[in-house]
């Protein structure tokens, strides 16, 4: 059984989702034919002695992750601290890293964040290529497509941390608080925030600020309750799901759960 850091590999994950064995076998057979053809080409002697002016770049396959949920969270917090202090290292952004991640990806953490342009996860946490698997949707809503993406990031790619990242002055949460009719499909994700608003509607303090925190906590719950895959990984200690809030003015990320 193919595994990545203790998780199901791509083929086994597809079996979980119900992909037929026949289609997998057909794909594998096709892959062998292609690989065999490429090997034959590689073994064919050159027709002249002139060296290739543009030899193909080669790089080793990146190592599979062995980062625990606790270590993953620590990396995120330390990266955010560097961002706040203006001491970003900009790691894993070299040409070598670009070529390395072209071979495979093994992100150490996944983020369900808001699509807001002011909250770019890789910058906020001072990470680079292949470090974070980021799913962004307005209101950091745990929609079905978002959950599916996060299942892939954990069960297949091996990320052991999921962070639901909300932020101050979130327009989606503000719209859910107001409850006004919305055009187009905007109301679809706003409706998924309203249950969180109702949880704190009669709580003392600012309703919008309370709702932003409540929404993060509500979406964290949705991830484990709506996904058997994520729920089981949490129970097995192979995954940690946390909520956090980003402050637009300071750049600071505060862990909520």
Q: Which domains does the chain have, with CATH numbers?
A: 3-43 (no CATH), 69-255 (3.40.1050.10)
Confidence (pTM): 0.77
* Residue 30 banded pLDDT, cuts 50, 70, 90: very low
- For the chain, what is the mean pLDDT? 84
Q: Is 109 left (phi over 0), alpha (psi -120 to 50) or beta?
A: beta
Q: Cα 11–4–12 angle (5° rounding)?
A: 20
Q: Is 256 left (phi over 0), alpha (psi -120 to 50) or beta?
A: alpha
The CA-atom distances, in angstroms, between 57 and each of 14, 54, 94, 96 are 31, 9, 14, 10
Q: How far is 163 from 161, CA to CA, in rounded Å?
A: 7
73-103, pLDDT tens digit by residue?
999 999 999 999 999 999 999 999 999 999 9
133-164, pLDDT tens digit by residue?
999 999 999 999 999 999 999 999 999 999 99
Number of alpha carbons in the 13 Å side-chain half-sphere of residue 64: 11
Residues 6+ apart with CB under 8 A from 193: 139, 141, 172, 173, 175, 176, 211, 215, 218
Q: Cα 203–204–209 angle (5° rounding)?
A: 80
């Amino acid at each position: 059984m193919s595994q990545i850091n203790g998780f199901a590999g791509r083929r086994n994950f597809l079996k979980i989702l119900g992909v037929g064995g026949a289609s997998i076998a057909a794909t594998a057979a096709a892959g062998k034919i292609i690989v065999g053809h490429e090997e034959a080409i590689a073994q064919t002697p050159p027709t002249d002695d002139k060296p290739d002016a543009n030899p193909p770049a080669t790089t080793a396959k990146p190592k599979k992750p062995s980062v625990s949920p606790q270590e993953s969270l620590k990396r995120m917090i330390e990266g955010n601290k560097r961002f706040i202090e203006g001491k970003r290292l900009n790691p894993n952004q070299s040409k070598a890293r670009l070529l390395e991640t072209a071979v495979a990806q093994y992100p150490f953490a996944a983020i369900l964040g808001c699509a807001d342009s002011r909250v770019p996860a890789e910058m906020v946490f001072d990470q680079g290529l292949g470090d974070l698997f980021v799913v962004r949707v307005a209101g950091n809503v745990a929609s079905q497509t978002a959950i599916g993406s996060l299942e892939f990031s954990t069960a297949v790619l091996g990320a052991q941390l999921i962070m639901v990242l909300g932020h101050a002055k979130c327009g989606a949460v503000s719209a859910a608080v107001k409850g006004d009719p919305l055009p187009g499909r905007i109301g679809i994700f706003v409706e998924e925030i309203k249950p969180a608003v109702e949880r704190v509607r009669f709580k003392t303090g600012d309703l919008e600020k309370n709702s932003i925190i409540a929404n993060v906590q509500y979406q964290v719950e949705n991830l484990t309750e709506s996904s058997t895959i994520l729920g089981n990984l949490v129970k097995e200690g192979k995954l940690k799901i946390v909520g956090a809030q980003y402050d637009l003015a300071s750049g600071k990320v505060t862990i909520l759960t």
